[in-house]
Chains A and B, each alone.
Chain A
Amino acid sequence: MEINWFTYFAQIVNFLILMALLQRFLYKPITRAMIQRKLQIKATVDEANEKRIAAEAELEKYRQQNLKLQEEKEEILLKTREEAEKERQKLVDKIQLEIQESKRKWYQEIAQEKADFLINVRRKTLEEIYRVLRLSLADLANVQLEEHIVNVFLQRLETAQHELANIAINKINVSSAFPLNNEQQKKISQTIEQYTGVKDQITFEIQTDLICGISLTFNSQEIVWSLENYLQNLSENLTTVINN
């Protein structure tokens, strides 16, 4: 349990030698390797950080581009929608116009059809009335209707005799809805001559659209008697009834 002084000093020396050897073979190389590794790791981390920053910048760039594309897309979409809306409105307007046009044509056609129908009705009515009247007059008086018409026409001429006397007349045309016999023509010619003084310049013709009447034409003037006026009234009344 005592100290061996030689061993004691030898161990001090041993320890110092061991310390120097370990410093040379252990601590220095290991510490150097660790520092180098730390530097390498730091360099790697720095590089990774740089790459990360670059990647983030790239990402931001793409994000911005994406945003821009999105905006452009929305803009195009909006523009397209507006154009489509305009086009739609245009088509709608066109269609409405066409509809209105069709409607107008249709109304026109209906109006035309109505007018044709009324004309037809009027003509038919007049024909019927004429036929009925003719038959009635014939049955009632045993006189031809034409004869009566001629008489009425001559009365009309008589009424207008003063007007006729004041006009210089060269040529007179007598139109009738029915053929006048010689006696009737003579009667009329004599009456005209009496009032106007015209004798040879009187012509007779048949005008079928002059319903149940006789007309006298001279110097672009006309003296007419026919059922036309009566029938006109009848026609107007019928038109009102049909319209209602």
Chain B
Amino acid sequence: MTLSPDQVIFWQKGLITINATLIVTWVIMALMVITSWWITKHLSSSAKLKDGQNILEFLVTIINEQIESATGQKASDFLPFIGTLFLFILVCNILTIIPFYLPPTGSLSTTSALATCVFIAIPFYGIKSKGWLGYLKNYLEPVPLMLPLNIISELARIAALAIRLFANLLSGGLIITVLLVLMPIFFPVIMQVLGLLTGVIQAYIFAILAMVYIASGMANEA
């Protein structure tokens, strides 16, 4: 039984492994970029919109609103990072509706990679906002003795971020697989719908937590 798309290997030479995670990721990337390009090719700034533009504007507006409500700051600086995180995870998870599809987010490598990006983004935005000293000072709060604990806390929440997404997707896929074996009709459909809902919620949670962590790194009082 295949639990992770990492295990489906198409080509391997030394350390270089081309597995289902990468292939599916590329396909999804191509899908997202081409769709965006196709829709934004003829954008209208009039009051009458095409459906595609309307959907994209709706998504961007929602993401902006969420970022602003979570951070209380201008959304445009965070939109590419948080928006891409959310949209990528959302598309990966929604496509689980396709039979035999293996979501890249079901791979611990992918979720870890995304969590690492968040891990890098936190000091990036923090230093950009407060400067090197201002940011590093956060780790010495409330007393310098807390430095190791602060570092552990930072790593732990990133690890939690990665594992939460991976585990949710993995468990969803696992349950469906098991149920298909035990009761192939009707019940897996419900679980599939539930999985779809979980996938959307996980995308939202991942993006919002990333935003909160970044915002906390930028805050004056850590």
Contact = CB atoms under 8 A, between A and B. Distances in A.
A7 B107 contact: yes
Contacts of A11: 21-22, 25, 104, 109-110, 113-114
Contacts, number: 124
A6 to B, nearest CB: 5
Interface residues of B, number: 46
Interface residues of A, number: 35
Chain B residues touching A, majority SS: helix
Nearest to A26: B36
Nearest to B14: A6
B143 interface: no
Contacts of A3: 108-109, 112
A21 B6 contact: no
B112 A29 contact: no
Interface SS of chain A: helix, strand, loop or mixed?
helix
Interface in A9-33: 9-12, 14-23, 25-27, 29-33
B190 interface: no
Nearest to B15: A6
B21 A7 contact: yes
A6 B16 contact: yes
A33 B4 CA distance: 40
Interface stretch (A34-42, A91-99, A211-219): A34-42
Contacts of B33: 18, 21-22, 25
Interface in B88-132: 88, 104, 107-110, 112-114, 116-117
A27 to B, nearest CB: 5
Given A4-B17, A7-B6, A15-B88, A26 B113 contact: no
Nearest to B79: A27
Interface of B: 3-4, 6, 15-17, 19, 21-22, 25-26, 29, 32-33, 36-37, 40, 43-47, 53, 56-57, 60-61, 76, 79-81, 83-85, 87-88, 104, 107-110, 112-114, 116-117
Q: 8 closest pairs, A vs B, by CB?
A: A11-B113, A36-B45, A7-B109, A26-B36, A29-B40, A25-B36, A19-B84, A33-B43
